[in-house]
């Protein structure tokens, strides 16, 4: 029986849902319950293929390539690529491909994206910052685009899996605001309307990824418990971002919780550079303190008691599915005595205070705070919403000296992806160890896979020793779907909505 509190919660977070009541199920529509929508709405240049946007943008837009489960680049809008010289790549575009508005998908469409990134408005967007190393884009012919990078990029075909291509004329004519409200892409579905809590889409007959189910619908349902109830009562078909608590009730209702290795890790980030005026980061600048913080947190216990024991314990700035992950590194053990010893050596035997902005996993970070209190460190937590977190993360304007940090290796599925944010490359940076940058640069330019892997292993070992964050968990992706869904698949957080069918 659904409690009055649950009814109120469901009504507040998704007005279309009636708790505990199975509504009529449309035979032609896949219904998705999402915890949030992209801050940039339908402007794919405003972010990278991370959460929450990846789950929506990947069905409206296409990227030049996609990366498969093995970490290898596969065809997207580009069907072939060639390394002309160490800094020059040529991509062959799909023949006779069109955007939903019938604009051609050709070399000029790719060039237009990079031309936009050079504009004053374009420069401010995350897409431009992601590809700031591309110095030239030109159309060799209608179906061949040449991209030149400032330095050799051996995994460039993986990296352009982050390059969303938009129709040049529509993007220019509509302007960013109008385009964001009603975007046009080449993906299998295109929006009919986009509101604060609902996105309705229909199949795109021009797409090379033909949709088997005619319609797709996203509903914004922030609370996990409300999404689960909506799935169990057949009001949605897919629940994005499930938890271990959902497994039993979803299974009992005839649904499935899909569990696959995530390209994401969870840490407590530490502000070690560019702190806001008045924020004290002095204790955190001492590597002994940072190591003590890692030793003081009982990750195994948190994993067992709060996360169902399914997460991996994080030892580095990478995840096991990524190229360059160093399997020889062991996580920091739980060792309170050693932690207290290091704190005393650093002059902080009585501890100190840290202030952390927490976006998600509050129960996990509450336990982290309890563990840190055992070595005298008081962690004050302030909740922060997704849009504010992104703004502060990009601009390093944290009000405190720590923050919940979810970093990923998608779409490249390569360890070097982390260095966009967890190194001096980020501008402004919250962590910058210049002694490590030669390894970062070397990994970027080495074409021999074996040599490159060795460089990344060394980089991961040195970063672990520097402990610029509290390492927590290598995540698993949990998403639930109901008994109507057939053919569900999650590859590096790109869902195959277009291949799913419904059994009614």
Residue 361: the pLDDT is 72
What pLDDT score was predicted for residue 23? 56
Whether residue 254 is found in the same domain as residue 188: yes
Q: What is the pLDDT of residue 4?
A: 39
Domain match, 334 and 314 both: yes
- Helix axis angle, 168-181 to 107-117, nearest 10°: 60
Comparing CA positions, the residue from 432, 124, 423 lying closest to residue 274 is 432
Are 309 and 348 in a shared domain? yes
259, 457 Cβ separation under 8 angstroms: no
User: How high is the pLDDT of residue 18?
Assistant: 41
- Note whether 80 and 131 are same-domain residues: yes
Provide the number of structural domains found in the chain. 3
Does residue 367 share a domain with residue 294?
A: yes
The C-alpha angle with vertex 340 and arms to 334 and 344, in degrees rounded to 5, equals: 150
Q: For 288-323, how does the pLDDT look when each residue is reduced to its tens digit (9 = 90+)?
A: 999 999 999 999 999 999 999 999 999 999 999 999
Whether residues 404 and 286 fall in one domain: yes
Judgement on whether residues 147 and 193 belong to the same structural domain of the protein: no
Q: What is the pLDDT of residue 3?
A: 40
**Residue 61 in 3-state DSSP?**
coil
Q: Which of 168, 197, 230 is the last residue of a domain?
A: 168
Give Cα separations from 109 to 125, 147, 150 (angstroms): 18, 13, 22
Residues 6+ apart with CB under 8 A from 234: 22, 23, 25, 482, 484
How many Å is the Cα radius of gyration of the chain?
A: 23
Which range of residues forms the domain containing residue 429? Answer: 263-476
Residue 268 corresponds to which tokens in the numbers above? 């407590």
- CATH of residue 88: 3.90.76.10
CA distances, 86 to each of 152, 201, 447, 451 (Å): 5, 41, 9, 16
The CATH number of whichever domain residue 279 belongs to comes to 3.10.105.10
**Global confidence as pTM:** 0.86
User: Of the candidates 128, 147, 168, which is a domain's last residue?
Assistant: 168
Q: Are residues 329 and 428 in the same domain?
A: yes
C-alpha 80/C-alpha 61 separation (Å) is: 19
User: What is the structure's pLDDT at 306?
Assistant: 93
Whether residue 298 is found in the same domain as residue 414: yes
Rounded to whole angstroms, the Cα distance separating 390 from 368 reads 22
Are 252 and 278 in a shared domain? Answer: no
Residues 38 and 240: their CA atoms lie apart, in Å, by 14
CA–CA gap between residue 111 and residue 137 (Å, rounded): 5
- Transcribe 126-157 into DSSP letters: HHHHHTTTEEEEEEEETTEEEEEESS--TTHH
The three-class DSSP label of residue 336 is helix
Note down pLDDT in tens along the chain; length 504 residues: 334 334 344 444 444 454 444 456 899 999 999 999 998 899 999 987 778 899 999 999 999 999 998 899 999 999 999 999 999 999 999 998 999 999 999 999 999 999 999 999 999 898 998 899 999 999 999 999 999 999 999 999 999 999 999 999 999 999 999 999 999 999 999 999 999 999 999 999 999 999 999 999 999 999 999 999 999 999 999 999 998 999 999 999 999 999 999 999 999 999 999 999 999 999 999 999 999 999 999 999 999 999 999 999 999 999 999 999 999 999 999 999 999 999 999 999 999 999 999 987 789 999 999 999 999 999 999 999 888 898 899 889 999 999 999 988 988 999 999 998 899 999 899 999 999 999 999 999 999 999 999 999 999 999 999 999 999 999 999 999 999 999 999 999 999 999 999 998
462 plus 351 within the same structural domain: yes
Which of 136, 168, 200 terminates a domain? The answer is: 168
- CB atoms under 10 Å from CB of 132, counted, come to 13
The CATH number for 10's domain is 3.40.190.10
In whole angstroms, give the CA distance from residue 81 to residue 204. Answer: 26
């Amino acid at each position: 029986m659904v409690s009055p509190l649950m009814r109120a919660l469901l009504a507040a977070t998704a007005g279309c849902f009636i708790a505990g009541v199975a509504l009529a199920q449309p035979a032609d529509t896949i219904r998705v319950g999402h915890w949030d929508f992209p801050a940039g709405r339908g402007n794919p240049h405003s972010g990278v293929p991370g959460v929450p946007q990846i789950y929506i943008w990947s069905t409206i837009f296409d990227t030049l390539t996609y990366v498969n489960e093995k970490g290898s680049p596969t065809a997207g809008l580009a069907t072939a690529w060639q390394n002309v010289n160490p800094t020059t790549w040529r991509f062959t575009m799909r023949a006779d491909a069109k955007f939903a508005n019938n604009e051609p998908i050709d070399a000029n469409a790719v060039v237009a994206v990079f031309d936009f990134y050079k504009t004053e408005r374009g420069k401010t967007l995350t897409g431009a910052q992601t590809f700031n190393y591309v110095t030239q884009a030109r159309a060799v012919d209608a179906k061949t685009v040449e991209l030149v990078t400032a330095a050799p990029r051996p995994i460039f075909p993986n990296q352009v899996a982050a390059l969303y291509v938009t129709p040049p004329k529509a993007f220019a004519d509509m302007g960013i605001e109008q385009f964001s409200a009603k975007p046009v892409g080449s993906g299998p579905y295109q929006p009919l309307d986009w509101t604060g809590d609902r996105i309705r889409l229909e199949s795109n007959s021009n797409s090379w990824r033909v949709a088997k189910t005619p319609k797709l619908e996203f509903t914004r349902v922030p609370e996990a418990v409300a999404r689960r109830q909506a799935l169990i009562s057949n009001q949605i078909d897919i629940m994005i971002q499930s938890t271990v608590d959902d497994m039993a009730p979803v299974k009992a209702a005839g649904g499935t919780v899909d569990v696959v290795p995530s390209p994401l890790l969870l840490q407590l980030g530490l502000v070690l550079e560019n702190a806001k005026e008045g924020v004290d980061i002095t204790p955190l600048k001492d590597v002994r303190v940072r190591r003590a913080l890692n030793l003081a947190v009982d990750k195994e216990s948190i994993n067992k008691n709060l996360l169902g024991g399914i997460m991996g314990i994080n030892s580095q700035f990478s995840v096991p599915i990524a190229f360059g992950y160093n399997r020889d590194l062991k996580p920091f053990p739980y060792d309170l005595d050693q932690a207290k010893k290091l704190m005393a050596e650093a002059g902080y035997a009585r501890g100190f205070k840290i202030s952390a902005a927490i976006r998600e996993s509050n129960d996990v970070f509450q336990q982290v705070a309890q563990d840190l209190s055992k070595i005298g460190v008081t962690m004050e937590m302030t909740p922060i919403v997704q849009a504010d977190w992104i703004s502060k993360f990009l601009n390093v304007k944290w009000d405190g000296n720590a923050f919940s940090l979810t970093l990923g290796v998608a779409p490249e599925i390569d360890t070097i992806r982390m260095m966009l944010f967890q190194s001096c490359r980020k501008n402004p940076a919250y962590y910058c160890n210049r002694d490590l940058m030669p390894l970062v640069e070397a990994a970027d330019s080495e074409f021999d896979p074996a040599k490159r892997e060795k460089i990344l292993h060394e980089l991961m070992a040195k970063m672990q020793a520097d402990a610029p964050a509290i390492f927590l968990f290598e995540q698993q992706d949990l998403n639930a779907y109901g008994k109507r869904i057939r053919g569900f698949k999650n590859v590096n957080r790109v869902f195959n909505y277009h291949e799913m069918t419904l059994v009614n």
